[in-house]
Each structure stands twice: as C-alpha cells, then as structure tokens.
A and B are shown apart, each in its own frame.
Chain A
Amino acid sequence: MTPAQNPRLIVTKAVLWFLVGVAAVVAVVRFARGLGVTTALTDATPWGMWVGFDVMGGVALAAGGFVVAATVYIFRRERYHAIVRPAILTAFLGYLAVIIGLMIDIGRPWNIWRPMFHWNLHSPLFEVAMCVMLYTTVLALEFAPVVLERFSWAVPIIRFLRRVTLPLVILGIALSTLHQSSLGTLFLLSGARMHPLWFSPLLPVHFLVSAVGLGLGMVTVESLVTSWLYRRQPEWDLLRGLTRAATVVLSVYFVVRLGDLAWRGELGRAFDGSWFAVLFWIEMGMSTLAPVALFLRARKGDGHWAITWGSFLMTAGFVLHRADVGGISHIAVTGQVYVPAPTEVAVSLGIVSGLGLIFLFFVENLKVWEEPPPAVDHFTPAAMDPVSSQYIGSPWLGEGQRAALAVICGVVVGIALVEAQVESRRRSAARPIHPPRSAAVEVTPRADGKGHVFEVVSPTVPAAMTEAVAGGGLLQDAILIDSGGEGRLVLFPHAAHQRRLGGEASCTACHHRNVPLDRATSCSHCHRDMYRWTDTFDHARHVVALDQSLSCRVCHRDRNAARTRAESRACASCHQATPPHLTRVRTTREAEPGLAPGYEKAMHGLCLGCHREEEKGVAVADRSLSRCTTCHRDEFASDAEMRQRPPFTVVAATSPEPEGAVGGGVRGAAGTTGGSP
C-alpha cells in the first residue's frame, strides 16, 4: 500500500502541518510582542509549558538514544541493532525540540550563545546548556552516516565516523548521564518552593533512573506509532525485550523514590490524603506500578496490548513526573496555579509536529529502518488538457499542495488564537473609583506659626463656605478623596487651594477640561478607573453636533493623513473654555487627545506637579510638600475612624502667594491639555 492510498498517513501529516502553521504565527507574535501576551506566565510561575514540555520532554525523548546505543554498542546485544537508527533519530529530534523550545521560551534568545563564554560553574543550568550543545553535536555525528550514505563523495567521512562510533557512543552516554541528572539538579535550587514529596537531594538520581525507563518507553512508543502509521508489524520480539529491561529499571526507580521518602521521614505525606498525595500516587501508578504489572503479564502470552498500554502509561507517567517537579508541586508552596495558554499549547504541539514531519521525511527517504516504507507518492495534480478541454490527472491534491493547504489553515487559526490570547491577557477587572465627597474642615493656625492645622469637622456636610468659627479657626470646604478605592482617605482642602491659586477665577488651573455648560468638571468625571485609561471622547456625538455629512474635515483637517486621533485637530482648539495658558495640568499623551489616564496617575500628576514647584521657593513647616505623607496622612482612616481621631495635621505654607500667581513662574504652565494648533 503506497502512502497515497493510506488515509491514516495523509490525515496525520495534514494535522501535523496544520499545527506547524498555528505555531508559526504564535512564534512570530511572541518575538514581536514578548512573552507576556503569548503565554500565561507570571512572576510567580515563570516557567511554563515550553520549559516543562518541550525542554524537559525533549530531553526525556532523547533518553531512548543513549539507552539503545548502550544496549547495542556497549552490551553488544546485536539483535537490537534494528532500532538503533530510529532511536538515535528520535534523540536528535528530541534535542532539536529542546533547542527550538528554548529559543522561543527564553526572553533574550540573541544571547543564547553566552554560556559558551560566560561560564558560571555554580549554575545547574550552565551544565544543562553545555550538555545540550555537546550531546546534540554527538547525536548529529552518530546520525550523520544515515544521511551521508546517499552521497558517493561522503564515503571517507562515513568510514571515519564508523571508526569513531564507539568513542562517540561512550561520550554520548557520559553526556546523557550528566544531562538527564542535571535536569534534577536544576530543582535543587528551588527547594523553598517545592512540595517535599518531589523535592529531594536525590533529584538528580530520580531523573537519571527515570530517564532510562523513559528512554525504553519512548523507543517502544515511537516504534508502535510509526508502525501503526505505515501499517507494518512492530518488532514485537525486540519490544518485549525492552519491556523486560524496563521492569527492572522501574522497580529500581520505585525503590529509590519510596526509600528516599522514608529516609527523609516524609513518607507519611504520601498517605496524608492531600491532593498532592493523590497526585503522587497517580504519578507512581502511571510511571511505575501499572507498567510493571502489565509488562509482567506480557511476559507470558503474546501480550501485545499489555506492552502497548504499559509503554504509553510509563511514558506519560514520567512526563507527569517532570511536570510535577517543574511546576505542579510548586503550587503547594506558592499557591499560584498556572494553566498553559492555548497559544503555549499551540507552540508546543507545533514543535513536536514539525519534528514528527522531519522524522517521517527521514523514514521515507533515508534508510532509518532496515525495511523502509514504500516510496512516496508523486501526484500529478489535475490540469486542463488543451485538446479535450477536460481535467486530467488525480482528483487528489499532491503532497506539497496538501501540506500548503494545511499550513494556511493553521496560520488562519493561529492568528485568531493570538488575537484572543492578547485580549484575554489584558487586565479584565476594572477598578472603578469612588468619587470624592465634600467635607467641612476647621482650619486653625499652628502654634509655631508654620502653617495650619486642618481638622475635619463634618465628613458629610456639602457646602462651599468660608466663615470664621469660635477659637480663631476658619470653617472651609474640602474634599475627601478615596485614594486607593479602599477607604484610605486623603484630605484635600479645596478652599485653601482655591484661595492660594487666585480665587474664583482659578478653577481652570486644575479643572483643565470641562463638559459643556460646566465651569469646573470634577476629576472623577473623566478619570473613571483607578488604573486604566478612560476614553472620554464621544465620536458619534461630535459627528451629530458638527453637521453630519461634512463634519469629518472639521477635525481631520489633513486630507492626506490617516483619520486617527493622533492626526486630528486638538480638542482645545474648539473647547476654549479650558484656556491652555491658565491650566497647570500637563498631559502625558498629547498625541492621543481624549484619553484620560487612571485616577491614581491623574491625581498624582496634578498634585505633585505643583507641590514640587512650591516646595522649592516656599518655606514649609516640617516636611517637603512633595512627600507622599503630605497628602497620605492616615491610611487606616475610614469615615467612622475619622470622627474619633485627632485632627489631621495637614500643614500649609504660611506666606500667601500674591494674587494672580497662577501661571506665573510655574514650570509647565504653558503645557496644554490637548496642545493648541
């Protein structure tokens, strides 16, 4: 049966190409916009699926390479020779997955060569990096003859490589030993955030022993999958031999894990009924107990199903172990749950799919198997016959066309996926502000003459008043600003500020933009969220107000420019109730008029700008005006507390500014709200 008539293969390849297409889009966006929007990673969960699956999984995948190489070349079990080439190829592709995964995952991939020159011998990751580089080279050399034997000129090279096979194999085994265990060493540094069922000083040993089991499992799984794909008979005899070895390795692993727990006195935790104990037993059941039971059964009858199930379970179980050590067990300490974003899953699947396609390509075109699958189909795509005016040829798409179609579909899905992901990573929870409320304060001069004491008389009386009260104080209006949206109030003596800035005429100094017919629109009218930007510009309303059809050019004056906010006319050129030269407000995004920053930023910007200037020239009592504590006097004060507490000791400067000081001598006074044309 040729691949052309094998729908299994056609569908599988189409799916793989599709996944490659999806991953390609995500990868492009990841490099353009960073990890934040393309992953679900946070500071609390800095490593996710790309490290846990592609890097850890890729290395685990490669375990089959050194196990089989050792079996054949060191222990001279020649009958396993048939699976050496697929195992080496799988290992090589596994390491490619590691490298591609790392290139996408690390934040500054242009520095990936740095470990070659900046050695930190104390870093487990440095050991990992070195092992990846060296072992990938060794695997490439081990696999090179398979590629080179197609070329006649390469005969001397192949002869040389065959001669150094044994040293290469030994080097590869030594490097693998280090590398597999070094992945465990990685987590010796993060003991403070791991559950004791997984953290152990013996982590390197856990990883090494399980890697041997995982290697045997991977070789079996890979053989079963490709056999299914190409409809050939798996080498059951060899596979049964592998499972026999796996039984021994798994038993050793089980003893090491439990013995280690018992020795550290943590065995009780495996039976404490917690979620992590359950997870531990699921992992041990999948990776060790069930496979051993199945393999022991397979020893008797033909037991193909037992070998199949056992191998798949064992592989999945050890992948789960990597995930547990790498992240899931951290939840016990950090309390932070990480669920991979769809885009992360897409990239991981895409990398695996791409390498799967390379594997299939090598299998079909090189002598990876002793008995290669039948030749690849070469379709003649349907074409119009000029003589008969009929379509001639196969109604099916050729292999290349199928691949292209699948990739295009993948790209389309990928774009949609990325868009959705970027949107979902925006902070969804808006933090609406609590608008400030009016209050009446009693103002009395301080005993030392340096400023005044403001005491909240009534937190509820809304009034604009300035009248003398008994005891030499003044009753003034003020506002209480809920500065964090959480009941921590800032007292803003409104009347005092108004007087200093020039009385009734000075509203525009702070109230820099007004809704129509309003003289002093309050800050909270436009700055409606604590942290997010608010769009205050109502385009539809302007269209109606400006004579419908011909109104575009009133604001979008330049015919050649794009009709965007940035290119349009400044708001203040029409809304002249906010004269630019009278306001002290400087806007931060003049290019995008109509966007009001978050309330916290707006209030800090408004108050601190003046306070910083004022503290330079004016003698202030006991603290500089721009300090946080000038306004944030008492963070725990709520309405109820406010009545019982001693008066606010807000201090103002004694020397009054001359009338009309607004705009004069204040840096940035000419800064405008919208930028005048």
Chain B
Amino acid sequence: MSTTTASSTRSFAILTDVTLCIGCEECVAACKKANKTGDDDAPWKWQGGAAELSSTRWTTIARTQGRYVRVQCRHCLDPACAAACPVGALYATESGAVAYDADICMGCRYCLVACPFRMTRYEWDSPMPRVRKCILCYDALTSGELDQPACTSACPTKATIFGEREALLAEARRRIEAAPDKYVNHIWGEHEVGGTSVLYISDVELTAAGWPEQLPGHAVPELATTVLSTVPATFLTVGAGMAGVHWVIRRRDKLAAEASAAAPPDPDHTDDEVSS
C-alpha cells in the first residue's frame, strides 16, 4: 500500500463542470449498473431520502441554487479514510482512486467518522456489512474492462469528464480564463484537504454543495501522523522515566531505612502522607 500518490504524474481525476450539468442522473444510473449497487428502495430509516448518497447510490445529484451538483467520493490525494483504516482496507492507489478491500475490513467505521466530506456509506442492513463509496471504477479500470469510469462515459453533456489530474486542472483553468465572468475563479479540489482527484468548477459557490467552508487547507491526516510519529519516543521515555523514578525513590527509601537503623527514629522524617 502506498500513500504517496500526490506527486505521481499518472494520477487520474474527474472534472465536473457544474454549468454543463442538466441533472439527468445518467451518471447515477451508469454507476449503479457498473457497480451492481442494487436498488435504493428498501424501507429503512437510515437510508434517508432516496436521492441521497447511500450504500446503493455512490453518486447522486444535489440540487442547490438552481444548479445540479454531482456528489461523489472526492478521492483525496492524502485521504483521511485511508489514514483512519487500521488495517488498510481503504487505500490510496497510484491512479488517484481510493479503493477498498472488503476482505480485510473490520467494519470499525472509523472511515465514516474521519471523512471530511462525509461521503463514505455503510451497509447498515447487512449482517456482513461493507463500506460503500465511489472507487473511481478502480477494479474495472485496472482490469481493462472500462477505459473510463462508468459515470463520465455516460454523461450526455460532458459535464463530468475523466483524465489525468494535471490535464484536467489545465482544462479547468482554460475554461475559467475563457469565461471569467461566468465562472467563479476557483477550482474546488485543487488545494482543499491537500488536493483531491475529483475537481469542480462552477458559476456559483459550492459551499452548500459538498465543499464546506471549514475544510482544512492541508491534508487531514497530517496532524495525526505527526502525533503518531512520537509514539515510539513516548513509549521509551515513559518507560525509562518510570524506571528512573522507581530507582530514585527506592534508593531514597533504602538510605532512609539505613539512616533510621543507624540512628534513633527521627520524628521529622516520618512520611507526611501517613501522619496526616
């Protein structure tokens, strides 16, 4: 497993142009078909609205401010979910996709807690539940079954396109420069949480559509990684410190015992804890 995809030149991505999306949900249908996710209609409370992201719906269309905004896993370059997973069942791949191996997953759901975009979903109705989210059609792409994710190939207006991340960033910049009055001068996903592989450009702010304002500008796992790197040192320091303290106190007690054996008992030397 590797977590160093950020610098990889062959890192793939999806660019969604909100201004082109007509909300037809072809991508949703294609995703469901390609990933065999099943129907959305089971009558359980945890499933929320049928049009919301769920374990059977890995991408969906959010309707805000009169726009259609596609919602899916952001495939962070340094993903919090992969850092959270204690066994590496969720892992960042060289291609930019954050993929999932259900066989080693423990089902701890820490990935759901960690995801800054809250895009991971869980099979709550199953006794053998899996984590469900967009995997950028990783399996089908690596096996050569597909040449691009099912969703992007299904899009009738080319509102969501697939390609190398650098090329898509250039394309996004080109579109913004070509129509600066139309677009907000921002590529969502370029820098947020250290960069994501799912990029958006839009003519409205996407704060209400899956890009919350309080997202950190750095990769989410950085802080925890820093703390975890001090673990061996902490362990040794505490261990050695405790051994040292014990040695000092025992020696002090021993000297005190010898002193009290040699001399008559000294009333001032009694342990203050005991006397109180």
**Candidates B82, B121, B231, B253; contact of A43 at CB < 8 Å:** B121
**Candidates A36, A46, A120, A424; contact of B88 at CB < 8 Å:** A120
Contact between chains at A114 and B104 (CB < 8 Å): yes
Shortest distance from the beta carbon of B218 to any chain A beta carbon, whole Å? 11
Known: A34-B125, A120-B85. A125 touches B224 (CB 8 A): no
Contact between chains at B238 and A174 (CB < 8 Å): yes
Chain B residues whose C-beta falls within 8 Å of the C-beta of A108 in the assembled complex:
105-107, 128-129
- Let me know if A544 is at the binding interface, CB within 8 A: no
Contact between chains at A111 and B242 (CB < 8 Å): no
Chain A residues whose C-beta falls within 8 Å of the C-beta of B48 in the assembled complex:
42-43
Contact between chains at A597 and B242 (CB < 8 Å): no
Contact between chains at B109 and A627 (CB < 8 Å): no
Chain B residues whose C-beta falls within 8 Å of the C-beta of A186 in the assembled complex:
110
**Candidates B220, B225, B274; contact of A191 at CB < 8 Å:** B220
Contact between chains at A628 and B24 (CB < 8 Å): yes
Q: Give the CA-CA distance A426 to B109 in the complex, in Å.
A: 22
Q: Give the CA-CA distance A75 to B252 in the complex, in Å.
A: 11
**Candidates A70, A121, A127, A425; contact of B242 at CB < 8 Å:** A70
Contact between chains at B26 and A627 (CB < 8 Å): yes
What is the number of residues of chain A that contact chain B, defined by CB distance less than 8 Å?
85
Shortest distance from the beta carbon of B69 to any chain A beta carbon, whole Å? 14
Q: Give the CA-CA distance A189 to B219 in the complex, in Å.
A: 10
Contact between chains at B234 and A178 (CB < 8 Å): yes
Interface mask (B80-98 → A, CB under 8 Å = 1, otherwise 0): 1011111111000000000
Contact between chains at A74 and B249 (CB < 8 Å): yes
- Let me know if B258 is at the binding interface, CB within 8 A: no
Contact between chains at B23 and A635 (CB < 8 Å): yes
Shortest distance from the beta carbon of B276 to any chain A beta carbon, whole Å? 8
Q: Give the CA-CA distance A175 to B239 in the complex, in Å.
A: 9
Q: Give the CA-CA distance A178 to B230 in the complex, in Å.
A: 10
**Candidates B3, B110, B129, B235; contact of A122 at CB < 8 Å:** B3
Contact between chains at A34 and B126 (CB < 8 Å): yes
Chain B residues whose C-beta falls within 8 Å of the C-beta of A531 in the assembled complex:
40-41, 43, 50
Contact between chains at B113 and A127 (CB < 8 Å): no
Interface mask (A460-499 → B, CB under 8 Å = 1, otherwise 0): 0000000000000000000000001000000000000000
Shortest distance from the beta carbon of A247 to any chain B beta carbon, whole Å? 14
Interface mask (B1-42 → A, CB under 8 Å = 1, otherwise 0): 101000000000000000000111110010000000001110
Shortest distance from the beta carbon of B6 to any chain A beta carbon, whole Å? 14
Known: A43-B122, A174-B235. A129 touches B273 (CB 8 A): no
Q: Which residues of A83-112 are within 8 A (CB) of B?
A: 102, 105-109, 111-112
**Candidates B84, B88, B122, B236; contact of A107 at CB < 8 Å:** B122
Q: Give the CA-CA distance A123 to B40 in the complex, in Å.
A: 32
Shortest distance from the beta carbon of B127 to any chain A beta carbon, whole Å? 5
Chain B residues whose C-beta falls within 8 Å of the C-beta of A73 in the assembled complex:
246
Q: Give the CA-CA distance A186 to B216 in the complex, in Å.
A: 17
Contact between chains at B120 and A43 (CB < 8 Å): yes
**Candidates B26, B40, B109; contact of A47 at CB < 8 Å:** B109
Contact between chains at B122 and A46 (CB < 8 Å): yes
Q: Which residues of A1-47 are within 8 A (CB) of B?
A: 31-37, 41-44, 46-47
Q: Give the CA-CA distance A123 to B274 in the complex, in Å.
A: 46
Contact between chains at B156 and A623 (CB < 8 Å): yes
Residue among A109, A125, A129, A173 with the most chain B CB within 10 A?
A: A125
Chain A residues whose C-beta falls within 8 Å of the C-beta of B112 in the assembled complex:
43, 46-47
- Let me know if A204 is at the binding interface, CB within 8 A: yes
Shortest distance from the beta carbon of B215 to any chain A beta carbon, whole Å? 6
Interface mask (A321-333 → B, CB under 8 Å = 1, otherwise 0): 0000000000001
Chain B residues whose C-beta falls within 8 Å of the C-beta of A74 in the assembled complex:
242, 245-246, 249
Known: A74-B249, A426-B45, A635-B23. A109 touches B107 (CB 8 A): yes
Contact between chains at A192 and B253 (CB < 8 Å): no
Q: Give the CA-CA distance A44 to B48 in the complex, in Å.
A: 10
Chain A residues whose C-beta falls within 8 Å of the C-beta of B55 in the assembled complex:
43
Contact between chains at A178 and B87 (CB < 8 Å): no
**Candidates A178, A188, A201; contact of B231 at CB < 8 Å:** A178
Contact between chains at B246 and A190 (CB < 8 Å): no
Shortest distance from the beta carbon of A83 to any chain B beta carbon, whole Å? 15
Chain B residues whose C-beta falls within 8 Å of the C-beta of A47 in the assembled complex:
109, 112-113
Known: A118-B87, A623-B156, A628-B25. A333 touches B214 (CB 8 A): yes
Chain A residues whose C-beta falls within 8 Å of the C-beta of B263 in the assembled complex:
none
Contact between chains at B26 and A532 (CB < 8 Å): no
Residue among B121, B126, B127, B225 with the most chain A CB within 10 A?
A: B127
Known: A46-B109, A189-B113. A629 touches B24 (CB 8 A): yes
Chain B residues whose C-beta falls within 8 Å of the C-beta of A174 in the assembled complex:
234-236, 238-239, 242
Chain A residues whose C-beta falls within 8 Å of the C-beta of B130 in the assembled complex:
107
Q: Give the CA-CA distance A123 to B82 in the complex, in Å.
A: 8
| Chain B, residue nearest A601 (CB) | B41
Chain A residues whose C-beta falls within 8 Å of the C-beta of B107 in the assembled complex:
106-109, 111
Contact between chains at B273 and A77 (CB < 8 Å): yes
- Let me know if A115 is at the binding interface, CB within 8 A: yes
- Let me know if B108 is at the binding interface, CB within 8 A: yes
- Let me know if A193 is at the binding interface, CB within 8 A: yes
**Candidates B44, B221, B225, B236; contact of A36 at CB < 8 Å:** B44
**Candidates B3, B214, B224; contact of A192 at CB < 8 Å:** B214
- Let me know if A124 is at the binding interface, CB within 8 A: yes
Contact between chains at B239 and A76 (CB < 8 Å): no
**Candidates B46, B87, B108, B156; contact of A425 at CB < 8 Å:** B46
Given contacts A191-B216, A427-B47, 7 further A-B contacts (CB under 8 A): A35-B124, A107-B107, A107-B123, A122-B3, A127-B228, A189-B80, A427-B44
Interface residues of A (CB under 8 A from B): 31-37, 41-44, 46-47, 70, 73-77, 79, 102, 105-109, 111-112, 114-115, 118-129, 166, 169-171, 173-175, 177-178, 181, 185-186, 188-193, 201, 204, 241, 333-334, 424-428, 484, 530-533, 597-598, 600-601, 623, 627-629, 632, 635
